[in-house]
Structure 1
Amino acid sequence: MSLGTVSQAGLLLALVAAATLSGCGQQTLDNSQDVAAALATGGGSSSPQATERELPTFDCNALGERASSIEMLICQEPELAKLDQQLAEVYAKAGDKAVNEQPPLLKAEQRGWIKGRNECWKSEDKLQCTRDSYQRRIVELQARYHLVASTGPVFFACDGNPANELVTTFFETEPATMIAERGDRSILMFSVPSGSGAKYQGGDYSFWEHQGEARVTWGYGAEEMLCKPTTQDDK
């Protein structure tokens, strides 16, 4: 083989290698762009360790042997971890509004809620019980501390007696909630299914609005009241 032939062969190999490297570089760039696009649209790994957002607010590695089974479940389930993060954000906003609250109930109530949440270990469906516990606590704080849009107050006179007044405020939580005030009591109620109208329930208390009037049960064993909306001019 002549020197000229060798030189031509070497040049050809160099050109092939350069083209190959160029293609790899372009593929790497394309792959990088694909990853960036996936991150921007929420794509990528679904592993619980994928993002900080999918971790609960407490340190799962520091739980130790004394951790409750529900705390371990929260660490294992990304859905519950997200709810824990959401509750932390709502709790912080509630704390800002509760600075001058007397007596200071927020922290004590939160500790009580945590104990109640951990009792979900007794439930047949621990995941659903824990999910419900978080969702109810979130909307409770949103309503009590007026962290979401609301309608009201709306005034009602019950059983034809203006002095028997019910004051209601409705909140755009998920699910919808209301706070009903009568006398010295303030009751949080949650939206429940109804055949017609809007119905709310909170323990032994209920409010069912239909065709411009409301049927209200105020406590255990109480007789149902018929309440009609009023205005300040009616007083």
Structure 2
Amino acid sequence: MPIRLSVPTVALAMLGTTSVAMAASPSFDCGNAKGQVEQLICKDDTLARLDRETTRLYGMALDARSLPAPQKKTLLAEQRGWIKGRNDCWKASDAGVCVAASYLERIHELRHAYAGARTQDDKGISRGPFDIRCPDVKAVIAGTFVQTEPGFAYLRWLDQQLVLTQTPAASGARYTATTANGEAVFWDKGPDAQLTLPGKADMNCRVGIRD
């Protein structure tokens, strides 16, 4: 059974808690924010940071000299479609969680598909995609990590994808997600990692940088 895209409960408490003294600053002018989703982003520092990172990656991908004109046209169309989908999150039962998941998926897609989006990692908060190999997963897992507070991990393989939120750990970086089938855990310890999927035993995995 496919694992549905999911942001765990810990993220629900994080989103929407930005105080007035810690005003969010996304890539667009909040004075001209349109619609419920843009207004939500302007009120939440985590969503604002995800917006800035997505916009930064998109700009680098679009400006890359190596990107042929047909691919630029495709990228422009993809971004317009993605923005429309993100803005449709106002229909979701929890718009904040929907928007966060939308940004994380887009960040992964930009970093995965466009080399230009991976050229200035020292100036951003995202890393990846990484190749994660686990013995009982019959495909290489592509993983992207975003350093907000707390951080996020986005994992995708075959027809499955997971959004996990970082939780306290004595060592490494531990991420969890509550799915319809149970809890998933990814524990990153440098080149070594441990992945637990609902109903399955812990798997010892290897993490490598994608060429």
Structure 2 length-normalised TM: 0.49
Q: TM-score, normalised by structure 1?
A: 0.45
Higher Cα Rg, which structure: 1
The structure whose residues are more often helix, as a share, is: 1
Greater RCO (Cα-Cα under 8 Å, separation 6 or more): 2
